[in-house]
């Protein structure tokens, strides 16, 4: 399960579909509808919020908005109806680590998407998150040495082509 801190606009089609499915699974876990994944580290930041279901709903709504912008058809009715103004703090180091991780995946899986994002100096976070100083989170399964914090600055969003309906 990977619930990206990165804005969903950076994900290739496979990545966006996977994020949608994994975030829906996370929602089911938070509702207590599944026995598995209850202790998955990606869920910790949602579980730590006073209203975890509202937090995952905000997360899913942003993923859904990105899907709609690409003319994909994700079923909005699957998102929990909880409404709240939710913002979760996340570290710049975590965002930087995920950006490096995504770029490595895209370089192999989707070179066109990798080229679109390779010059982005400071990727935007998912709208749920506000960035705070800090390193890669302890719950992250770091595959390599920790990534240095990214420099602040405007990110250039890659142009996203329209894809067929999913």
Closest residue by Cα to residue 26 from 51, 49, 48, 59: 59
Q: Would you mind telling me the total number of residues written for the chain in this entry?
A: 166
158, pLDDT greater than 50: no
Q: Given the DSSP bridges, would you call strands 88-91 and 129-132 parallel, antiparallel or unpaired?
A: parallel
The confidence score (pLDDT) of residue 160 equals 41
Rounded to the nearest 10 degrees, what angle do helices 13-31 and 92-109 cross at?
130
Residue 96, pLDDT score: 95
CB 82 within 8 A of CB 57: yes
User: How far is the C-alpha of 9 from the C-alpha of 154, rounded, in Å?
Assistant: 15
DSSP conformational letter for 67: H
Tell me: the pLDDT tens digits for 36-72? 888 888 899 999 999 999 999 999 999 999 999 999 9
User: How much is the average pLDDT of 91-99?
Assistant: 96
Q: What pLDDT sits at residue 73?
A: 94
């Amino acid at each position: 399960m990977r619930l990206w801190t990165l804005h969903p606009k950076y994900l290739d089609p496979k990545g966006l579909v996977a994020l949608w499915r994994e975030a829906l699974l996370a929602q089911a876990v938070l509702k207590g509808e599944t026995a598995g994944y209850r202790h998955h580290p990606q869920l910790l930041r949602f579980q730590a919020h006073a209203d975890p279901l509202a937090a995952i709903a905000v997360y899913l709504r942003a993923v859904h908005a990105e899907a709609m912008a690409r003319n994909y058809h994700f079923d909005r009715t699957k998102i929990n109806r909880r409404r709240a103004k939710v913002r979760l703090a996340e570290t710049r180091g975590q965002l930087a680590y995920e950006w490096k991780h995504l770029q490595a995946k895209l370089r192999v899986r989707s070179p066109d998407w990798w080229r679109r994002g390779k010059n982005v100096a400071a990727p935007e976070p998912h709208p749920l998150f506000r960035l705070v100083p800090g390193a890669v989170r302890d719950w992250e399964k770091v595959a390599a040495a920790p990534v240095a914090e990214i420099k602040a600055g405007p990110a250039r969003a890659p142009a996203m082509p329209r894809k067929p309906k999913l």
